[in-house]
Amino acid sequence: MPSEAPGHRSASPHAAAEGVLLHASAAHQPMQAHAHVHAHAAPRPWRLAPALRASVAWHAALGVTAAVSPPLWPWALGAAAANHLLLVAGGLTPRSSLLGPNIVRLPAAAMSRREVALTFDDGPDPEATPRVLDLLDEAGTRATFFCIGRLARRHPALVREIVARGHRVENHGDSHAKATALYGPRRLRADIVAAQETLADITGQRPRFFRPLGGFRSIWLDPLLQQLDLRLACWTRRGFDAAEGNAAIVYRRLARNLGPGDILLLHDGQAALTAARTPVSLDVLPRLLGTLREAALQPVTLADAVPPA
């Protein structure tokens, strides 16, 4: 989210060639033990988002116009700039599908089963994540954890514990740097691949979903996700618990108009602190789980609710 800190830099493979498998942590199990997770699924057929196809056609038309009628070039330049601003606005709107497919609600079949998805970002955190797992266990609930690659290498046992307790680990990038949305295609791909290989090595499961920091993205993200057989998954609503330490306010934001198919965003890492200096998500979660139970809403993982593409 906008207020999230990128954290400390750690050793990173970003300068290495694309596709290099990352083994930066001594805690990683040997590649032979997880060789099956490195077999990439065949990439989905690459399709340019409709808005980007229209943008390409628009630029071509503007170029022809300026070439045929040179006096119109200032108008053409202004029209091109307006188009760029529209694409930027789409990238800065987390729930937008302007730049490509974006899962912000569960599919109709999951809605009919009254399913919702609890998702946690920015972990693993050695203090907060185990407590979140305990609260989920007490409620008999499963969730999805979007983990940061460099933190997963720091706490691999905790990542394995998430999976061992029946939850799913998905890709939240490797560096979690604020400038990630400004990366060029090579650097962005390296960041996503580094986290993908790290999480696959640790858990034995390849993540199926990717969530960028804050939901912000560029025109490069959708083509890269298609190449890597990942799907963009943002949210229906969030409590802004990375910035707001008042549990009542965070709860109200999440519970307002809560219904089947919702994808809810909380943080197990980098959550704001309450007056008692505890992560606010830990105060919100028990009440939210109670509300879901009273509304007969069933939390599931994204992987269980969303069929493979």
Is the domain of 142 the same as that of 76? no
Residues 209 and 170: beta-carbon distance below 8 Å: yes
Is the preceding peptide bond at 124 cis, omega within 30 degrees of 0? yes
User: Is 263 among the domain residues?
Assistant: yes
Is the domain of 129 the same as that of 255? yes
From 270, 207, 264, select the one nearest 234 (Cα to Cα): 264
DSSP per-residue letters across 10-67: ----TTSPTTPPP---TTSPPGGGGGGGGSPPPPPPP---HHHHHHHHHHHHHHHHHH
Which pTM does this prediction carry? 0.80
**pLDDT on residue 21:** 33
Query: Averaged over 271-283, what is the pLDDT?
Result: 97
User: Is 17 among the domain residues?
Assistant: no
Domain that holds residue 243: 101-305
Is the domain of 85 the same as that of 119? no
Is the domain of 63 the same as that of 131? no
Query: Averaged over 245-267, what is the pLDDT?
Result: 98
* Lowest model confidence (mean pLDDT) among 73-77, 214-218, 225-229, 278-282: 73-77
- Catalytic positions are 121, 267
- pLDDT at 7 exceeding the cut of 70: no
Other CB atoms within a 10 A radius of the CB of residue 19 amount to 11
**pLDDT on residue 82:** 77
User: Is 83 among the domain residues?
Assistant: yes
Is the domain of 87 the same as that of 127? no
Q: What residues contact 36, with CB distance under 8 A and at least 6 apart? A: 204
**Model confidence band, residue 69 (pLDDT cutoffs 50, 70, 90):** confident
Is the domain of 124 the same as that of 83? no
Is the domain of 77 the same as that of 216? no
**pLDDT on residue 68:** 80
Chain center to CA of 193: 14
Task: Using the 3D structure, point to which of 91, 123, 151 is the last residue of a domain.
Answer: 91
